[in-house]
A and B are shown apart, each in its own frame.
Chain A
Amino acid sequence: SQQGEEDPQALSIQEGENATMNCSYKTSINNLQWYRQNSGRGLVHLILIRSNEREKHSGRLRVTLDTSKKSSSLLITASRAADTASYFCATDAGGSNYKLTFGKGTLLTVNP
């Protein structure tokens, strides 16, 4: 079953613009992670935010987490054509097993 739901399903922007993707989930989590997947490739880990954190930055990435609304957002600033990819949120519910449950993803297209 899918835990996270990304929104929008697809996003098309121009180079230099900011891109915002959202993720909603259903059950309590230990942490939430964002992954990127280029066409035909494996998943690359971008950033992890723990349930007791509200915001995290990594380079041009900014992630927020609102546990009261069970939602997270990923902001990519000053986008580049190379950022074109699918972006997935994945949640870890905690417990003794580290189990990642993925959403359906957002397809981001950055036009040169």
Chain B
Amino acid sequence: EAGVAQSPRYKIIEKRQSVAFWCNPISGHATLYWYQQILGQGPKLLIQFQNNGVVDDSQLPKDRFSAERLKGVDSTLKIQPAKLEDSAVYLCASYALGTEAFFGQGTRLTVV
């Protein structure tokens, strides 16, 4: 079974620039999550999708972060404009009822 795919693995941008991350979940998984993990901390949920609908985005900084999951499969997370404090690893995970959540390798973002 193929895992959760994320790209890119690493990204370095200057503050105020924009960046986008891509996630391809495990086939058939209806639930998709984006987490932000700052160095030394646990993952923090940014947004949760059920198919192509948002079920929880309470911790997403909506003035600069946006996410979409067109057709209920792939998802993109965008930051515009980026701030220094956005430097973190962005993790995508997917879940299907009766299984556990599977995580991708993450995208390490450095904002300079």
Complex Cα spacing A102 to B50, Å: 20
Least CB distance, A24 to chain B, in whole angstroms: 13
Docked-complex contact A97 and B108, CB < 8 angstroms: no
Which residues of the other chain, B, contact A43 by a CB distance below 8 angstroms?
A: 43, 91, 93, 103
What class of interface size applies to chain A in its complex with B? 20 to 34
What class of interface size applies to chain B in its complex with A? 20 to 34
Complex Cα spacing A101 to B58, Å: 13
Q: Which of A43, A45, A97, A99 has the most CB of B within 10 A?
A: A43
Docked-complex contact A88 and B43, CB < 8 angstroms: yes
Which of B56, B97, B103 is A42 in contact with, Cβ under 8 Å? B103
Docked-complex contact B48 and A102, CB < 8 angstroms: no
Interface of B is mostly: strand
Docked-complex contact A33 and B100, CB < 8 angstroms: yes
Q: Which of B40, B43, B102 has the most CB of A within 10 A?
A: B43
Which residues of the other chain, B, contact A99 by a CB distance below 8 angstroms?
A: 45, 48, 56
Complex Cα spacing A1 to B59, Å: 8
Residue B70 is within 8 A (CB to CB) of chain A in the complex: no
